[in-house]
Amino acid sequence: MQRRTNWLLGLFTVAMDAAMIAASFVAAYLLRRVTEYPRPLVPRPFSYYSGMLLIHIITLLATFFLYRLYHFKRGLSRIDKSYSIIAAISFGTIASVALTSFIYKNELDYPRAMVIYAWILCIPLVMMGRLLTDYLHTKFRIAHPTRVLIVGAGDVGRMILQKINQSPKLGYQPVGFVDDTPGRKEVSGLPVLGNRNQLGFIIREQDVQEVIIGLPEASHEEILDLISQAERERATVRVFPDVFQIIASEISIDDLNGLPLLTVRDVALRGWRLAVKRGMDIVVSAATLILLSPLMLLIALLIKLDSPGPVFYTQERMGLDAKPFQILKFRSMRVDAEQQTGPVWATRNDPRVTRLGAFIRRYSLDELPQFINVLLGDMSLVGPRPERPVFVEQFRQIVPRYMERHKEKAGITGWAQVNGLRGDTSIIERTKYDLWYIENWSLLLDIKILIKTFFNIFRDKNAY
């Protein structure tokens, strides 16, 4: 039943894409007929372009397939889908024109402007169609959820459960945990159903369809044993990676006189990549400071009225190459906040926070002055969040490759933060996300993180 429905939904998606591609082509034809740019069009009936339309539809659908747009992944963000759709339509349009020219040679006189119109119109129309098909996929997943078993009830296991609960659209139904801790019967409202040796039995008993292994510190032998047990019961297996697995894509194999050695590449930004990132930092931070200057003046005035003390708060943080700099924020705590406690992390319902401070921290408005840090070059828009030297000294002793975070400039936001790892969350997991970002940087990834940050401002429960 589930497989058949998935197949029908996939077929419906193909049909919807074809309809939207055809609609964009027809709209481009009509638009070109009523416009005189670049020159008036020789009027021809639409049937004259019917062969070109057929080639256009088939080519774009084939391109969508090659771009894996019909491999429906859970949890893929709309931003990632948009990137793929734009790239596929752009490449498919070029391929369609080339194929049309090859088949018709000089027999078909098609307006170049019409092709451009079809390309531009196709992007929003296909995205609109995908909104409908994604809605149907989501409704089906919710109606027929995948039963999931989480192996490991530690910090990672609880984080996995939290992500599942925060994303009901994924269609996951967690049934419980598998954990070896003695006496542990329940975690975060879910039962501990047994230990790792009982994994196969639990999968059969609970009718589990998918197993998520959240044991990043387990040995490879233990992970392989768990995978073997799950696969014998024909359950899909997903593994939360450890640090080595995250950096595996950036490891090369070298040869030392016949002896193979693994070399971790230096992935710090260099050359044009660094120039592009810095250019975006300057443009966006300058524009943001200009546009939000009235809001920043209002916040400064309210801080002065709310509690005694300065408007701004500066604190030493560690940035690029572990060099200290003064980070700038709107003051959200009492002036004597750390007089008795010393350097400590902020926590939920922190008594040191002022009345206004609680509000501006909830919506990250206290961090707006950091755009000045970005403009001055101390920080970047996107990168690992900077920590205080006292915490850096602690973390470097316990977190593998922690200091690798400092190969790039610290950021106002980052890959870890948009994935819910901010505030009082695991520094080990946060470091893994930071390392992944550094080793997989691209301009599109930065844009994606900035977009996700904007929307997370209104729903981030870890902002305090």
Q: What percent of the chain has pLDDT over 90?
A: 32
Q: How many CA atoms within 13 Å lie on the side-chain side of 190? A: 25
Integer Cα distance of 164 and 236 in angstroms: 16
pLDDT at 248: 46
| Residue-range domain boundaries for the chain | 2-143, 146-240, 271-456
- b/e per residue 61-86 (b: at least 16 CB within 10 A): bebbeebebeeeeeeeeebebeeebe
Give residue for tokens 């390309």. Answer: 119
**Strands 172-178 vs 190-194: parallel, antiparallel or unpaired:** parallel
Element of type H or E holding 316: strand 312-318
pLDDT at 270: 66
**Strands 172-178 vs 146-151: parallel, antiparallel or unpaired:** parallel
pLDDT over 70 (residue 417): yes
Residue partners of 406: CB distance under 8 A and separation at least 6: 318, 319, 320, 321, 322, 384
Q: For residue 157, how far is the Cα from the chain centroid?
A: 20
End-to-end CA distance of the chain: 46
* Weakest mean pLDDT among 114-118, 199-203, 264-268: 264-268
pLDDT at 78: 80
pLDDT over 70 (residue 295): yes
Residue partners of 31: CB distance under 8 A and separation at least 6: 114, 117, 121
- b/e per residue 434-453 (b: at least 16 CB within 10 A): bbbbbbebeeebbbbbbebb
What are the angstrom distances between the C-alpha of 276 and each of 270, 415, 443? 10, 19, 8
H helix runs in 330-385, sequence order = 355-362, 370-376
Higher pLDDT, 110 or 371: 371
* Weakest mean pLDDT among 58-62, 147-151, 154-158: 154-158
96 and 60 Cβ atoms separated by less than 8 Å: yes
pLDDT over 50 (residue 397): yes
Q: If we measure between CA atoms, which residue out of 70, 91, 92, 69 comes closest to residue 80?
A: 69
Q: How many CA atoms within 13 Å lie on the side-chain side of 201? A: 7
Render pLDDT for 305-362 as a digit per residue (tens, 0 to 9). Answer: 988 888 998 889 998 888 999 999 999 888 776 666 666 666 666 778 888 888 888 8
Instruction: Kindly report the average pLDDT of the chain as a whole number.
Output: 84
Render pLDDT for 24-75 as a digit per residue (tens, 0 to 9). Answer: 999 999 888 887 666 666 678 888 888 999 999 999 999 999 988 988 777 6
- Class of domain 146-240 as given by CATH: alpha beta
DSSP-derived 3-state class of residue 294: helix
**Strands 324-330 vs 312-318: parallel, antiparallel or unpaired:** antiparallel
Q: How many CA atoms within 13 Å lie on the side-chain side of 242? A: 10
Render pLDDT for 11-26 as a digit per residue (tens, 0 to 9). Answer: 999 999 999 999 999 9
